Amino acid sequence: MIRFEQVGKRYPNGHVGLHELSFRVRRGEFLFVTGHSGAGKSTLLRLLLAMERPTSGKLLLAGQDLAQITNAQIPYLRRQIGVVFQNHQLLFDRSVFDNVALPLQILGLSKTEIGSRVGSALERVALSDKAELFPGDLSTGQQQRVGIARAIVHRPALLLADEPTGNLDPRLAAEIMGVFEDINKLGTSVLIASHDLALIARMRHRMLTLQRGRLIGDGEAV
């Protein structure tokens, strides 16, 4: 599903975000990307979201080369990716329902279809009774689950999460990880950037370790 072939990212100021990174991710796989701050985790996610372009190498997402993709094609690529942010990135002037419905409105689905899918996504993250509330009325953990519902509502093939448990206590973090595992069982590939090694170790999934933009480890977390 994802193929990094000698992918490098060098910024105009000379800073190197990634050094000739090479690895593959199979369809339906669950993996973590870990490393210290500045290791290149976020750069890797930004490349996969086509927020940045690689400066060298080949980055393939289901056969599409993200270095070659045009700006006009990017929205259609992103419609097949779900993304969860550490700070949720929710719209606080919209209800939980409207936040989750946003990707479906962009897809141009009917109101009935949107209602059905949003209901299903909220049920999956156990927030069915919060649909009419606003994000400001929810706890941090609930806000993160709204973010997850928004990321999965359009049934993406790939779910990316950038430090999704960064602001949560261990109990909530484990709960959120449980949600990701449920989603992964439905066939969605899940790639999570996190530096919470204890949590990663408990999950027993594949883990890529980055250090200063280089891949220094690839194997099951222990």
The site for other proteins (CB under 8 A) is made up of 1, 12, 27, 49-53, 61-64, 71-72, 74-81, 83, 89, 91, 102-103, 105-111, 113, 116-117, 120, 123-126, 150, 154-158, 175, 178-179, 182, 185-189
Round to whole Å and give the CA distance between 12 and 82.
29
**Beta carbon of residue 186, minimum distance to other proteins (angstroms, whole number):** 4
Closest CB to other proteins among residues 4, 209? 4
Residue 84, phi then psi, degrees to nearest 5: -120, 130
Closest CB to other proteins among residues 16, 157? 157
DSSP H helix total and E strand total for the chain: 7, 10
Closest CB to other proteins among residues 103, 221? 103
Cβ–Cβ < 8 Å for 220, 26: no
Helix (H, G, I), strand (E, B) or coil at 60: strand
**Beta carbon of residue 190, minimum distance to other proteins (angstroms, whole number):** 10
**Beta carbon of residue 84, minimum distance to other proteins (angstroms, whole number):** 11
Question: What distance lies between CA 97 and its chain's CA centroid?
Answer: 20
Round to whole Å and give the CA distance between 91 and 100.
10
Residues 208, 75, 112, CA angle at the centre, nearest 5°? Answer: 105
Closest CB to other proteins among residues 36, 181? 181
Closest CB to other proteins among residues 6, 11? 11
Cα torsion 64, 66, 72, 73 to 10°: value is: 20
Upper half-sphere CA count for residue 145 (Cβ side, 13 Å): 24
